[in-house]
Amino acid sequence: MPTSDPRTLFVHICCSVDSHHFLSELRALLPETKLIAYFYNPNIHPEEEYQLRLMDVRRSSQLLGIPLLEESYDPKNWLHESIGMEHCPEKGERCSFCFDFRLNRSAQKALELGCDSFTTTLLASPMKSIPQLFSQGKELEQTWGIRFYPLDTRSHGGSARQQQLAKASHLYRQNYCGCLYALKAQREQLQKRPLELLSPLSPQRAKEGIFAQRRHALERRDFFEKSGQPYFFGKEKRIFWQNLFTRFQDSKGASIPCHALAPSLLSRPLSLRVELHHKGMAYFDKEGVRAMDLKLWRRLTLQKQSSIQELIYHPLSIKEELRLREELGDSPLSTSPLLVFKELPPLGESCKLTIHSLWQEESVEKVWKL
């Protein structure tokens, strides 16, 4: 624990959950010290996640009344310098590099602003090693000639208090450290795909993705706070569906463009035969697979797509596609493939259908108005 108070302490911020408690502790320990918060995290990937964390750090800083200095988001150098460390374990060589990358810049910025010392809220993270950070901070102190302030806010029940404060303050609690490699490793351990790294083809589907849902919750939280309306901030488990790849081949092996409605699922490529045509619909012999032609699609949805390619890039929302399924008689939990073709495949046609899609449970932020 430091023995004297610096006059101006420059605090590198990693995320609101760590910084809110860490800054609160600094305030109590150093009541006469000016604090400057500094958000510099080019390691965070992808940019949508970076923006969510920055959004919440802004709110946290405002609640605490601490000025926040925001650095521009530039992950290219970080990614380039981390080449070769992709598979390093947490708290290993890659984390050590990441600390140095961010704290070197922080020390330099602190000197530019005339601060007496600097520190980092990474010290509050349960995913990081305090002795490792203390050691690297001491080395940076010698390199830059500015004091590193070593503060342990995790011991003696500090981590529990940090989580309690994060919950009470309705902070955004991310589910991975920040970098691309940590995200992939965590998802592999959970046997899940990293949805954060998948970008839908259509802007409409991006609005329904995991980042859009999280941002909506944070914006809703902020709106209720500003308007003085009571709310409950928590998380809900929900299913995300995303089509990765759909291929329909006729009896000659030629690919026929088609659009698969949410939430069409197949566990493996399927050989099919068209058994029935009826009022613009085709019914196949397996897995409840059905199809409609583009003319029927336009009549049912009042859309004006002139080609399947246009439909693929500009589909309805998932909610609207589910409603269309219900109108066609599907049960609410149906995952049988429902396709759209410009023209239906011929009656009796043998064909092959391949669908690679995600159907994955995720936990996302949720705000309920009270």
Nearest to 262 by CA among 336, 351, 362: 336
Fold of 8-189: Rossmann fold (3.40.50)
Tens digits of per-residue pLDDT, 243-262? 999 999 999 999 999 999 99
Domain regions of the chain by residue span: 8-189, 239-362
Residue 199: what pLDDT?
85
Tens digits of per-residue pLDDT, 92-123? 899 999 999 999 999 999 999 999 999 999 99
pLDDT higher than 90, residue 266: yes
Strand spans (E) along the chain: 8-13, 34-39, 68-70, 117-120, 147-148, 231-249, 259-260, 270-278, 281-284, 290-293, 338-341, 350-369
Residue 15 known to bind ligand: yes
pLDDT band (50, 70, 90) for residue 173? very high
Tens digits of per-residue pLDDT, 26-53? 999 999 999 999 999 999 999 999 999 9
Going from the C-alpha of 273 to that of each of 294, 325, 337, the distances in angstroms are 20, 22, 14
Across the chain, mean pLDDT equals: 94
Higher-pLDDT residue of 294, 175: 294
Phi and psi at residue 316, to the nearest 5°: -70, 170
* pTM (two decimals): 0.91
Give yes or no for a contact between 320 and 204, defined as CB atoms under 8 angstroms apart. Answer: no
pLDDT higher than 60, residue 176: yes
Q: Determine the residue type at 88.
A: C
Residue 327: what pLDDT?
95
Q: How many CB atoms sit inside 10 A of residue 199's CB?
A: 12
What is the rounded average pLDDT of the residues 193-209? Answer: 88
Q: Residue with structure tokens 């409840």?
A: 288
Going from the C-alpha of 17 to that of each of 39, 46, 124, the distances in angstroms are 13, 19, 9
Residue 179 known to bind ligand: no
Residue 84: what pLDDT?
95
pLDDT higher than 50, residue 360: yes
DSSP characters for 43-58?
A: T--SHHHHHHHHHHHH
pLDDT higher than 50, residue 2: no
Q: How many CB atoms sit inside 10 A of residue 279's CB?
A: 6
Residue 6: what pLDDT?
64
Residue 3: what pLDDT?
41
pLDDT higher than 80, residue 4: no
* Tally of CA atoms within 13 A in the half-sphere of 167 that contains its CB: 8
